[in-house]
Structure 1
Amino acid sequence: MWFVLTVVGAVVATGVTPKARAQQNQAPAPADLRVMPVQGSVYMIVGAGGNIALQIGDEGVLLVDTGLAQNADKVVDAIRKLTDKPIRYIINTHVHADHTGGNEAIGTLGSRVAGGNVGAGAGVGAGIIAHENVLNRMSAPTGEQAAAPFSAWPTDTYFTKKKELHVNGEAIIIEHQPAAHTDGDSFVHFRKSDVVSAGDIFVTTTFPILDAQRAGGINGIVAALNRLIDITIPKEKQEAGTYVIPGHGRLCDEADVVEYRDMVTIVRDRIEDLVKKGRTLAQVKAARPTIDYDGRYGATTGFWTTEMFIDAVYNDLSKKK
């Protein structure tokens, strides 16, 4: 049976600059946290910033993303309304603060499973997992000031195409999607529950957000969406089956991803054709390559406008290869 669990509280987005970091402000204000069961052992938490996936089982709790820092207490309250099991793992789909902001507060409340000849502090705090590029962005590998405190860093990283876990009796595959929304994006696939947490590669609320400062690109977005379609399986007549938790927006299935992928591909191809013809950015904007989709995904104000999207795609496709 489907139900919604509400955690009362205001969601206040932090003030950051738009464009490349705009997605960090996507949480509405004010709003309540909502928790809904997806299927299997997976739940979805909405309203803390980016969407959060929550897996609960005998071993404890696994989170995919943690929302904005100021909403960490509400996220914990929402979890505790479902279970008193310890928080064992946090997986970050990418680096942005609306998905990693709660790492420190939530992670320090957890405890990881440790055994054998390990250090004294090995079982303290939840294990935080992400692609190595997320750690590189959050830490200070060049000696500069770190973007996040050490306790928020994903110190359990992977650098290959994928990382595999087995938690709460379920196989979980974390799969890197290079140069998409950022350079550190991952899908998290709960195999038994048949749920994929997609991060901000797939959203239902806006055109794709390309973080050029962190090596995001439109072709990487398209490739990642195609991969997401590969790993989702619909039920009869293209509905239900594998559920997809987007970075922002409503719960989806494969048909929704296909529709979004088609939109992104069409707009990308239109802009690419104009770039190849030598059109300027102003001429591309005048051609209105997104006109068919502006009513659903476009915006003239806010953190990520249609104009910002066209700017980002044009600049990406105009780069010398």
Structure 2
Amino acid sequence: MGFLHRFAFSATSIVLLSLGSPTLAQSQDFTKVEIKTVPVEEGVYMLLGEGGNIGVSTGEDGVFLIDDQFAPLTAKIQAALDQITDKPVRFLLNTHWHFDHTGGNENFGKAGVVIIAHNHVRERLKTDQFLKVFDRKIPASPAAALPIITFGDTVTFHLNGQTIHAFHVEQAHTDGDSVIHFREANVIHVGDVYFNGIYPFIDTEHGGSLDGMIEATERILAIADRDTKIIPGHGPLSNRAELVTYRRMLLDVRSRTRTAIQTGITLTDFIASKPTADYDKTWGKGFLPPQKFLTIVYQDLAARSTP
């Protein structure tokens, strides 16, 4: 039995909890979302639903969870976990602060799950935030949703026969991103440093940068081999070769944007020139259209190139 059964959570209580969390409950029908379980390696799984991909380690020591999507999905996530293990969720690690990765924190926290994240994640969650690019205010999370253990550089867990090593990558997707390496299983959960198959959102308002994204992928590639399974923040299960392709795209976009800035091309003219036309068919069909992705990149690089 999962923790929702042991703590007697009802469907009504899940909805009530979600109202106080930064979810999209008012604009999305979560009743239609299905949680899909993808086996990755023995004892390691990826859960797909709505929001960031969830990583799972199972075994005799209990469940180690990476991210938790949206609050109204907690019962469905627990039901999916119950299909693969009868052990309770003990630890939850947030890869960063965004609501589609931390929306279920309050539910899990109230059930006694230990929440862990980088120092900056707790700081972001405990205060109101605003995402200008989406014109959206994200209210501060309640106390039960906050990480109770935080770290600055690295933290290592020894669970389920795995060495689970989490390390901070600076100024990548945000200022508080963590990459989690299951060493024995040869699996890496990279959070939103990697959007598989679509242009990534870079939250420059909260410490993210294109340079940091590229540096983060290089750190991941340094510990990955041809057999490594990579769980991206969004998109299907991936591997080293696909991450190399993603990095190549980011490098090309950075080079083209820097050239435009150095030659005095305005943002409007840059976007109008369709500088990523060769990539748009493959990468431009996600939630972030090419023009919005290029705007974020241009403004980021322009600000950093200002004397």
TM-score using structure 2 length: 0.84
Do the aligned partners of 1:40 and 1:194 also contact (CA within 8 Å) in 2? no
SS in structure 2 at match of 1:202: strand
**Residue 28 of structure 1, CA deviation:** 9.0
- For 2:256, the equivalent position in structure 1 comes to 270
- For 2:288, the equivalent position in structure 1 comes to 304
Q: CA RMSD in A?
A: 2.3
TM-score using structure 1 length: 0.81
Deviations 1:234-258 (A, max 9, x none): 1xxxxxx110001111001100100
**Residue 92 of structure 1, CA deviation:** 0.6
Say yes or no: does 1:181 pair with 2:173: yes
What is the alpha-carbon distance in structure 2 between the residues aligned to residue 126 and residue 48 of structure 1?
21
Unaligned ranges ≥5, structure 1? 1-12, 18-24, 110-124, 235-240
- For 1:133, the equivalent position in structure 2 comes to 120
Shift of the 66–141 alpha-carbon distance from structure 1 to 2, 3 Å rule, reads closer
Say yes or no: does 1:245 pair with 2:231: yes
Normalized per residue, the structure richer in helix is: 2
Structure 1 runs of 4+ aligned residues shifted over 6 Å read none
Do the aligned partners of 2:30 and 2:73 also contact (CA within 8 Å) in 1? no
Say yes or no: does 1:190 pair with 2:179: no
Say yes or no: does 1:315 pair with 2:299: yes
- For 1:14, the equivalent position in structure 2 comes to 24
**Residue 30 of structure 1, CA deviation:** 4.0
Shift of the 140–28 alpha-carbon distance from structure 1 to 2, 3 Å rule, reads closer
Letter in structure 2 aligned against 1:128: I
Aligned residue runs from structure 1 range 88-127, under 5 A: 88-109=90-111, 125-127=112-114
Letter in structure 2 aligned against 1:243: K
Letter in structure 2 aligned against 1:47: G
What is the alpha-carbon distance in structure 1 between the residues aligned to residue 108 and residue 212 of structure 2?
31
Q: Percent identity at matched positions?
A: 38
Say yes or no: does 1:218 pair with 2:205: no
Do the aligned partners of 2:34 and 2:76 also contact (CA within 8 Å) in 1? no
Do the aligned partners of 2:56 and 2:63 also contact (CA within 8 Å) in 1? yes
**Residue 286 of structure 1, CA deviation:** 2.2
Say yes or no: does 1:62 pair with 2:64: yes
Do the aligned partners of 2:178 and 2:190 also contact (CA within 8 Å) in 1? yes
Do the aligned partners of 1:164 and 1:172 also contact (CA within 8 Å) in 2? yes
Letter in structure 2 aligned against 1:136: E
Do the aligned partners of 2:110 and 2:144 also contact (CA within 8 Å) in 1? yes
Unaligned ranges ≥5, structure 2? 1-22, 130-137
Shift of the 48–79 alpha-carbon distance from structure 1 to 2, 3 Å rule, reads farther
Do the aligned partners of 2:70 and 2:102 also contact (CA within 8 Å) in 1? yes
